[in-house]
Each structure stands twice: as C-alpha cells, then as structure tokens.
Amino acid sequence: MTHRGPAVRPRRLRSTPAMRRLVGETRLHPAELVLPMFVREGAAEAVPITSMPGVSQHSLDSFRRALVDAASAGIGGVMLFGVPSVRDAEGSGATDPDGILNVATRIAVQELGDALVVQTDLCLDEFTDHGHCGVLAADGSVDNDATLERYRDMAIAQAESGSQLLGLSGMMDGQVAGVRDVLDGRGFGGTPILAYAAKYASAFYGPFREAVQSTLVGDRRTYQLDPGNAREGIRETILDAAEGADIVMVKPAMSYLDVLASAADISEIPVWAYQVSGEYAMIEAAAANGWIDRRRAIEESVVSIRRAGADAVLTYWAQELAGWLRETA
C-alpha cells in the first residue's frame, strides 16, 4: 500500500503569490497610517535628526512641502509636534497662539483641508524647560491637577488653531475628562480626542528626545506605565474610554503587542498604536549595516501591529510604506 502522506496540508494555501494574497488575514492600507512630523521654530531649512535617518525637524517651508507629499501618498493623517526656541517652567509656548505648534497646525489645515486628518500632540514636554509632561510642584514632582489646567488651555489653543484630533499623550489622571469638559463647554464638542491610554515608560523613546530637543532630567516613571504591567494598561484604556476618548492608543507598539491585542479585544472604540522612534531607529540601523532586508522588515513590523489589533498605526515610515502599498495594489 502506497503511503500518501498527510491529508491536511496547510501549505496548499501558500503555494503562489496569488494564493497567499487571496487568503491573507491582515492587510495594510495607506489610510490606516499616520505620519508624525516635527516642526522647529526659527529653522531656515529642514534639520536632519541623526538618530532617525530620513526624518527631519521641518522649517515652515519644508513643512508645507512635506504636507503636500503626505496628502499625495494617501495616508490617513499627520501628528504634529512643535520644537520651540524658548521654553519655560509652565510650557507657555504650548498655549501661545503664535507658538510653533499652533502656527504649524493652522498651516497644515490651510494646506490640507480635508485631505487627511491634522492631529496635534497635546503635552507639555516639548515646551517645558525641565522636560516633563506637566507642571512641577515645589518638591520637583509633577503636579497632576495643576497640569490638567494647562492641558485644558492647550486643548482650546489647538482646537482654535484647527486641530482635527487632539492627541493627549501626557498620562495625567483625568486628562481626558478635563479636556472633554472644556472642549464641550467652549463650543468644540465636535473635536475628537485620541487618548494615549497605555503609554509606557519605555527605553524606546530615545531618538524622539533628540527630535524634540528634550531637556528632560530624570524619568517619567511616576506617570507613565511600568513596562511589566499589562493589566494596568487595560485599566487605563477602560478609564480613558469612560471619560470620553474617541480613540485610545498603546505606545510603544513593538514591545506591547500583548497589551494592544487585549485592548483591541475589549474596546468599543478604535484602538491605535504608535511605532516609536526607537523601533524606527533599530530597523534603520540594522538595515544600514546590511543585517536585515529593510523593506521586508518595515512591512513585517507594521503588519504585526495591525495583526495584534491596531486599527491605525502612527509610524515614521507612513509615507514610504504608502508608496509601496500603491505599487502592489
């Protein structure tokens, strides 16, 4: 009797590119990608970020050109970060209508209209001389409730500048409820909130510190999550949704795919993830050394984030990846 081998052969569905495409479970689309962008006050031209090859701090002129390119790529949105020339203890530049982030927001809305969603980082760390995400108390700790007042003012400044989605990334208790309340009370009830709900005190933010020229001394472990705590990330996600968030986020992505998957399982609102600067820098460095296939590694990394449950991904490769997706569509 001839042995026929196994009857169940999963490899049948991997036999050709067409077959693999037909049965693929996770697909990427440019509309699911958001490009973080840095705008530097007083810059005459784009300034390369050495730890993030291919990413720059934009001047206002280079920012305008980059916005057009981003819209042409068909991505879903841009997330804006300001790099001010002057900082103080209160982060005054964050609420100054002529501060760099609010100026950049108005430019983006003017340039893009409804072509994609203009999003703004609502946090004080780029604007404070101490580099923390909030106002400091006399003992040097971050004063949660005093910080909420600054966030409320910042929300109005960003909404008045035309921001179409406020990204609350400071990890203060009650920040979503505080911002939702002031937006509703000041006539911005239609402005949505993206809550960085499960934001961890991660080592993978290093290159971002260069990107925003952070002045931080110490760490943010009293308000960002401990990397070992998965349940706490889910608790924060549930709290932010209950306070009125329209979207919740897990950050970083790569080391927290379990948290992302759990959040996606329980959330009734969209769940996003941020592929952070360190994730970007590691792949770029390995590719530059010839250790990995750059394009395959980028595509695989973003697919893994979507597979874990992210409805959209903030990634510094958003525009480049969108171009590849158009090539293979």
CA angle at 134 for the pair 43 and 220, rounded to the nearest 5°: 95
Count Cα neighbours of 109 within 13 Å in the Cβ-side half-sphere.
16
Compute the distance between CA of residue 100 and CA of residue 68 in angstroms, rounded to an integer.
19
59 is catalytic: no
3-state secondary structure the chain: CCCCCCCCCHHHHHCCHHHHHHCCCCCCCHHHEEEEEEEECCCCCCEECCCCCCCEEECHHHHHHHHHHHHHHCCCEEEEEEECCCCECCCHHHCCCCCHHHHHHHHHHHHHCCCCEEEEEECCCCCECCCCCCCECCCCCECHHHHHHHHHHHHHHHHHHCCCEEEECCCCCCHHHHHHHHHHHCCCCCCCEEEEEEEECCHHHHHHHHHCCCCCCCCCCCCCECCCCHHHHHHHHHHHHHHCCCEEEEECCHHHHHHHHHHHHHCCCCEEEECCHHHHHHHHHHHHCCCCCHHHHHHHHHHHHHHHCCCEEECCCHHHHHHHHHHHC
Selected catalytic residue, list 58, 132, 150, 199: 199
Helix axes 175-185, 144-161, angle to 10 degrees: 40
- Token pair of 325, please? 């997706």
**What type of residue is 206?**
G
Selected catalytic residue, list 205, 251, 283, 319: 251
138 is catalytic: no
Active site residue ranges? 199, 251
